[in-house]
Amino acid sequence: MKPIVILGIFVADTAFRADRQPKMGETLLGHSFALGPGGKGSNQAVAAAMAGGKVHFITRLGRDDFAAIARTTWAKAGVHPEVTEDAESYTGAAFVFLEAATGNNAIIVAPGAAARITPEDLDARADLIRGASVFVAQLEQSVAAARRGLEIARAAGVRTILNPAPAATLDDATLALCDFITPNESEAEALTGIPVVTVADAERAADALLARGVGAVIVTLGGNGALYRDASRSLHLPVISAGPVVETTGAGDAFNGGFAVALSEGRNVIEAVRFGCATAGISVTRPGTAPAMPARAEIDALLARQG
């Protein structure tokens, strides 16, 4: 099986759980604290590897203790690191606020060395990308780097996924490089100007992205599942629940990792979306991001129960 190549960042997540966020100048007592691995690209790489994919992850790290967390995380999950060490910067970190009652989150990311990923980093690994089944990027590193990876992949006939998170301004030429784009509701609104509250809203936002050259759009809708839409069909897939929701922080990353694995295995796109939904459905029943990603046997078992 050809590998999945993912471009993105690693950050060490510093997660604080409390009843609410503090106001400016206010100090609150929290319920808990955890230090663990994060970063959308890294989380997606872990999700894909845990789900059975052969995954290579392109990123930059500093030379510090947080970099050691990254390498330990990838080794445990089976991710093949494609790392440039950057002694002039630091390994990224993120502040994650978790609302105790709901598990909802708010995040501040400082990418550190990963913010210095350049298009040249992608050129240096062009042969790896050309030999992939699927190439995945997000937007926590520069748009220019993501675009270069998408260009290399598209020229080689490799299927491309862009998870446009966090939302950024994207030109039509970049969008046209995407076989699939996977925004959540807020990212779809940021890209199109269309507020996404209902499935019908998601369809309108998807149409706006299709008109700009995207091959297919998957709007992830949290507890309302996902909308798949391309030029010829539209399908709303419900959430696949695996139990009570504990934390939603890594749900989108779980979806993208699982979706990429299913595509790499030759499943049709709707089966791939369902596989991604099942991966996400399990991840939200556990705390953390990368540590919450399910093993392949768990995903298969959940899908089998769904029929």
Distances (CA, A) of 112 to 34, 63, 253: 20, 11, 20
Question: Distance between CA atoms of 39 and 213, rounded to whole angstroms?
Answer: 28
Cis, bond preceding 22 (omega within 30 deg of 0): no
What residues contact 171, with CB distance under 8 A and at least 6 apart? Answer: none
| Eight-class DSSP state of 239 | P
- The single residue of 121, 127, 253, 300 carrying the catalytic annotation is 253
**253 is a catalytic site residue:** yes
Q: CA 293 to CA 42: how far, in whole Å? A: 11
Among residues 104, 132, 124, 108, the alpha carbon closest in space to that of 284 is found at 104
Give the span between the Cα atoms of 17 and 30, in whole angstroms: 6
Residue 236 is inside which H or E element, if any? strand 234-237
Residues with catalytic function: 253
